[in-house]
Amino acid sequence: LDSSSRHRAAEMRSLLPLVVTVAVAVAAVGQVTAISLDSDSAKVLEEALHNDQLVVSVKHIKPRRRVRSGVETLLAIDFPGSQQKMVVQLDRRSRRVVLETTENGRMRGQHFSVDSLNEDSIINSLVLSIQQNRPQPHIALYVDCVQQGVVNTPRTLRDMFLTMRNPRLQVYRERRYTMEVDSDTTIEKVLNRNNCPITAQMQAIEPAAPSANEIQRVRGDIPIIHDCDDNMLVKAINELVTVVKQLREEVETQRVETHKLRQLLEECDMCQPGEG
């Protein structure tokens, strides 16, 4: 290489750390700013959740190229100062819409299976019909006018809100999509507004009982894992093998020590029981 080429190569090498830093920063910002606080939607939702029924619609959901895990948060409803929250996520790889709720610090994970969902599909409308009246409050999901099932919600949004000392809520959502909240209407009217056929509207009238596949109780001390990573699985197995090996060694050590203690007791004259 001539001197000018070597000089350009040196300049490129010197700029490489800066390029990497900028790329990492841009990626991080893209993840952090995926959802943002929406005060206007929070006010509307706060008014609506006092009703027995409300409908939340998210429209024109396009695939995100930056979401490597395939999981995208569409909506998060937080109740500040309490251990209560509801999050709606789109898991394209697993073809699921995930509903996570935190109820007094205990996490509950449920999902709807959506066969039409994939990593490249565009969702024209995703509608959550939220029924809060007792004895069986539940949430029904409609994706592009098709009902995807029902999940029970023992603790409703209204319950979370009214049990707070100073009731208020915050809404975080993806601003690229349009979100609407309805409370003075029916799910049939919302579907009609989304140009759904009559068959879909008739289906919405019929109550659907939750199936075993749609409800999944999750212990509060076990995190929800959306993607099964091979490296993570191998790491977990290796850690388990190590723990089992340590336990076996400890048990063997205790067995040897117990055997030695027994021998000492048998050989100890003063330890023998006295005659008569």
pLDDT at 125 exceeding the cut of 70: yes
Q: Looking at the domain assignment, is residue 19 inside a domain? A: no
Does 139 lie in the same domain as 239?
no
Does 243 lie in the same domain as 158?
no
Does 141 lie in the same domain as 55?
yes
Q: Looking at the domain assignment, is residue 155 inside a domain? A: yes
Q: Looking at the domain assignment, is residue 234 inside a domain? A: yes
Does 153 lie in the same domain as 63?
yes
Report how many domains make up the chain. 2
Does 164 lie in the same domain as 239?
no
Instruction: Determine the structural domain holding residue 254 and report its residue range.
Output: 228-258
| Residues 6 or more apart whose Cβ sits within 8 Å of residue 223 | none
Q: Please, which pLDDT band fits residue 159 given cuts at 50, 70 and 90?
A: very high
Q: Please, which pLDDT band fits residue 228 given cuts at 50, 70 and 90?
A: very low
Q: Indicate the range of 80-94, 123-137, 228-242 predicted with least confidence.
A: 228-242
pLDDT at 238 exceeding the cut of 70: yes
Average predicted confidence (pLDDT) for the chain? 76
Does 151 lie in the same domain as 48?
yes
Does 200 lie in the same domain as 73?
yes
Query: Residue range 243-267: average pLDDT?
Result: 82
Find, among 142, 115, 124, the residue nearest to 208 by Cα. 142
Query: Residue range 27-55: average pLDDT?
Result: 78
Residue type, 193: R
Q: Looking at the domain assignment, is residue 22 inside a domain? A: no
Order of all β-strands in the sheet with 36-37: 36-37, 170-173, 71-78, 85-91, 96-103, 106-113
Query: Residue range 30-41: average pLDDT?
Result: 71
Does 118 lie in the same domain as 248?
no
Q: Looking at the domain assignment, is residue 78 inside a domain? A: yes
- For residues 134 and 155, what is the distance between their CA atoms, to the nearest angstrom? 10
Q: Looking at the domain assignment, is residue 85 inside a domain? A: yes
Q: Looking at the domain assignment, is residue 7 inside a domain? A: no
Query: Residue range 145-159: average pLDDT?
Result: 91
pLDDT at 241: 82
pLDDT at 219: 37
Does 187 lie in the same domain as 62?
yes
Does 252 lie in the same domain as 120?
no
Q: For residue 42, what is the domain's CATH number?
A: 2.60.120.200
Query: Residue range 32-50: average pLDDT?
Result: 84
Q: Please, which pLDDT band fits residue 30 given cuts at 50, 70 and 90?
A: very low
pLDDT tens, position by position, 181-220: 998 788 999 999 988 886 555 555 544 445 444 444 433 3
Does 241 lie in the same domain as 211?
no
Does 89 lie in the same domain as 112?
yes
pLDDT at 180: 92
Q: Looking at the domain assignment, is residue 10 inside a domain? A: no
